[in-house]
């Protein structure tokens, strides 16, 4: 979820909350809309053709229609900026979402035999989409004396042209 307000920097911009040129916030928001306009229109058209429901515009990549009854977002309280902006009506924050699985995980035999500490690294569903980052990270981890289990998220990468357009947009914009 992204919340438009003049009191906090645009989501995913990386701009600090209390230092720097706040004119960059407006510039960032303007460029985001400019660059994402065509992708949003294509996505909206695809949704209309396949599901018959039009989207209201909101910030990339959260193109969805919000419920008037209740919405949940996940973000740590310390980083949620609620002291500078209130949650919109019918929005509720959670520190984290935790998935529970019925199956019991066991460390693979190959990893049990190796030396070093065993470290679990969760990339989440979105973290694994940035392939250059993943390659760089794995190159660094490969030099470590430790063992790693890397979770790439529950969702498989879908190579739909629309999804790839969004990923290409994010990469080209430096996100």
Residue in the structure block whose two tokens are 């310390």: 78
What pLDDT shows up at residue 129? Answer: 65
- Written as tens digits, the pLDDT of the chain (175 aa) is 455 567 888 777 788 888 778 888 888 888 888 888 888 888 788 878 887 878 776 655 556 777 888 888 887 888 777 888 888 888 888 887 776 777 787 888 878 888 889 888 877 666 666 677 778 888 888 888 888 887 766 554 444 444 444 444 444 444 4
> What pLDDT score was predicted for residue 5?
64
pLDDT at residue 152, rounded to an integer: 67
The overall pTM is greater than 0.85 = no
pLDDT for res 157 = 47
Candidates 36, 29, 30, 34; CA nearest to 15 is 29
Q: Are 87 and 116 in contact (CB under 8 A)?
A: no
- 71, exposed or middle or buried, with CB in 10 Å at 0-12, 13-18, 19+? middle
> CB count, 10 Å around CB of 171?
13
Helical packing angle, 23-51 and 161-172, nearest 10°: 180
């Amino acid at each position: 979820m992204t919340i438009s307000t003049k009191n906090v920097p645009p989501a995913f911009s990386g701009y600090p909350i209390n230092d720097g040129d706040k004119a960059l916030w407006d510039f960032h928001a303007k460029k985001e809309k400019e660059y994402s306009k065509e992708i949003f229109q294509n996505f909206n058209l695809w949704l209309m053709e396949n599901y018959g429901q039009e989207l209201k515009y909101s910030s990339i990549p959260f193109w969805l229609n919000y419920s008037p009854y209740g919405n949940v977002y996940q973000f740590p309280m310390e980083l949620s900026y609620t002291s500078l902006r209130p949650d919109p009506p019918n929005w509720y924050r959670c520190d984290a979402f935790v998935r529970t699985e019925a199956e019991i995980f066991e460390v693979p035999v190959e990893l049990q035999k190796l030396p070093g500490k065993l470290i679990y690294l969760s990339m989440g569903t979105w973290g694994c989409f940035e392939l250059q980052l993943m390659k760089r990270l794995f190159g660094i981890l490969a030099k470590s004396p430790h063992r790693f289990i890397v979770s790439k998220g529950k969702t498989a990468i879908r190579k739909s042209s629309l999804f790839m357009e969004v990923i290409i947009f994010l990469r080209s914009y430096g996100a």
